[in-house]
Amino acid sequence: MQKHSVKAFGTESKDADLKEMIINRREVTAKDIEIEILYCGVCHSDLHTARNDWGGTKYPAVPGHEIVGRITKIGSDVTKFKIGDLAAVGCLVDSCRTCSSCEQDLEQYCLNGSTGTYNSFDKHLGNHTFGGYSQKVVVDEHFVLKVPENLDLAAVAPLLCAGITTWSPLKHWNVNQNSKVAVVGLGGLGHMAIKLAKGLGAEVSLFSRTPAKTEDAKKLGANHVIISTNPEEMQAAFGKFDLIIDTVPYDHNINPYISTLAVNGTLVIVGYIGEMQCLLQTPPMIMGRKAVAGSVIGGIAETQEMLDFCGEKGIVSDIEIIKMQDINEAYERMLKSDVKYRFVIDMSSLKN
């Protein structure tokens, strides 16, 4: 297959900084779209992959799965887009499209293994996929998304991961104007969960360990802030919530939150991948038919639904724009939660 070279930023090993490098992209085939990347969000998954925190990273690694850009080429069989259109790519660039999950527009749960935007097998070039920390990307039309033109393009980028990761459970558990939703953790995922739940009409609360985040949470749309270290406030929230979205990215005790679920309520984990050390207390679950679940991103149709909703409601992420050359510093700041609430790379800095 024909290919061409583009500039990118990536790392050669888990201990090395990210730096400029040259990678290959395939030439556009009949169903492909080439996108000049204008902005790319920075996700915790990028950092974990670059540093091989989860194991299995293939090097050189080029992260980035919150991509917004403009179409520069299309294949002969492309029907949904034209050259010059705004377009986006999220966490997926392929799936089998034939299994029961894919047939239900749940490509993220492809039973034969979906293809991630980076660090997955690239069936076209025979190596592994490279992400959005690059000048261009070539993606099959099916996995390209339309971007509402009324939104700030840079602030749209994190919707492709943080947005859809929180939107998917909100929709799956049918959140609406009659729902009471709580969010655990106020970061990249948490701030989007508040905005989207509020946009759906829900009464929204934030669980926080300290009162310091109260003002920010209220500005984002939270109706209430519950201090999880305050026994009186936790007792007052007993049996209240239909859905709790837990965005905390590290191991923590979820038992106190289960007691605040209403009958038939669900706590859904979206922030932590790994083993929970806490012993799950089942009595509060059994006595109220309460559930603990997990969720990850969303399918292509659901992601497009989320983008369209954000266009209608004027919802975007709160961001800080950086140059590509500042990514290593941004990673260190992410580890300290020193960003409100998502870094986005202005990819024009890679051209200089």
- For 121-133, how does the pLDDT look when each residue is reduced to its tens digit (9 = 90+)? 999 999 999 999 9
Supply the pLDDT for residue 210: 87
The CATH code of the domain that includes 21 is: 3.90.180.10
Question: Do residues 96 and 179 both lie within one domain?
Answer: no
- Asked if 64 and 79 count as a contact pair (C-beta separation under 8 A), the reply is no
Instruction: Examine the pLDDT at 205 and tell me if it is beyond 70.
Output: yes
Same domain, 220 and 345: no
Q: Is residue 273 domain-resident?
A: yes
pLDDT of 1 > 90? The answer is: no
Mean pLDDT of the chain: 96
String of b and e for 73-84 (b: at least 16 CB within 10 Å)?
A: ebbeebeebeee
Asked if the structure places residue 336 within a domain, the reply is yes
Give the range of the structural domain holding residue 225, as residue numbers without chain letter: 162-294
In a domain, 303, yes or no: no
Flag whether pLDDT at 352 surpasses 70. no
- Residues ≥6 apart with Cβ < 8 Å to 212: none
Domain-embedded: residue 309: no
Same domain, residue pair 213 and 150: no
Cα dist. 133→215, 293, 324 in Å? 33, 32, 8
Taking each helix axis from N to C terminus, what angle separates 300-313 and 188-199, rounded to the nearest 10 degrees?
70
pLDDT band at 44 (very low <50, low <70, confident <90, very high): very high
Rounded to 5°, the CA angle 252-14-54 comes to 35
Strand pairing report for 224-227 and 203-208: parallel
Same domain, 12 and 135: yes
The answer to whether residues 148 and 166 belong to one domain is no
β 261-269/241-246 pair status: parallel
Q: Are 195 and 222 a contacting pair, CB within 8 Å?
A: no
Q: Which amino acid is at 166?
A: T
For residue 281, the domain's CATH number is: 3.40.50.720
Query: DSSP of 243-294, one letter per residue?
Result: EEEE---S----HHHHTTEEEEEEEEE-S--S---SPP--HHHHTTT-EEEE
Whether residue 247 contacts residue 169, with contact meaning beta carbons closer than 8 Å, is answered with no
- The Cα 218–Cα 206 span in angstroms is 9
CA distances to 29, 51, 125, 176 from 33, in Å: 8, 30, 16, 36
Average pLDDT over residues 180-184: 98
Say if 109 falls within a structural domain. yes
Confidence of residue 351 (pLDDT cuts 50, 70, 90): confident
Examine the domain organization and report whether 324 and 288 are in the same domain.
no
Residues 156 and 192 grouped into a single domain: no
- Angle among Cα 280, 286, 287 to the nearest 5 degrees reads 120
Q: Which of 247, 263, 294 is the last residue of a domain?
A: 294
Rounded mean pLDDT, 256-275: 95
Q: What's the whole-number mean pLDDT along residues 320-339?
A: 96
pLDDT in tens, 220-249: 999 999 999 999 999 999 999 999 999 999
343 and 277 fall within a common domain = no
Is the domain of 11 the same as that of 89? yes
Domain-located, residue 329: yes
Query: Residues 126-146: what's their mean pLDDT?
Result: 97
Q: Sort strands 180-184 and 203-208 into parallel, antiparallel or unpaired.
A: parallel
The answer to whether residues 211 and 230 belong to one domain is yes
User: 310 in a domain, yes or no?
Assistant: no
Task: State pLDDT tens for residues 206-220.
Answer: 999 989 999 999 999
Residue ranges of alpha helices (H) inside the chain are 44-50, 100-103, 153-156, 162-172, 188-199, 214-220, 231-236, 255-258, 283-286, 300-313, 327-335
How many structural domains does the chain have? 2
Q: What residue type is assigned to position 333 of the chain?
A: R
Task: Identify the three-state secondary structure at position 111.
Answer: coil
Coil, helix or strand at residue 83 = coil
The position carrying tokens 């729902």 is: 179
Confidence at residue 261, expressed as pLDDT on a 0 to 100 scale: 98
As a whole number of angstroms, the distance between CA 304 and CA 319 comes to 21
Percentage of the chain lying above the pLDDT 90 cut:
96
Q: Is the pLDDT of residue 273 over 90?
A: no
Q: Is there a single domain that holds both residue 8 and residue 155?
A: yes
Q: Based on the domain organization, do 40 and 180 belong to the same domain?
A: no
User: Judging by beta carbons within 10 Å of its beta carbon (0-12, 13-18, 19+), is residue 296 exposed, middle or buried?
Assistant: middle
What is the pTM assigned to this prediction? 0.95
pLDDT tens for 59-110 read: 999 999 999 999 999 999 999 999 999 999 999 999 999 999 999 999 999 9
* 305: in domain: no
Q: Are 49 and 131 in contact (CB under 8 A)?
A: no
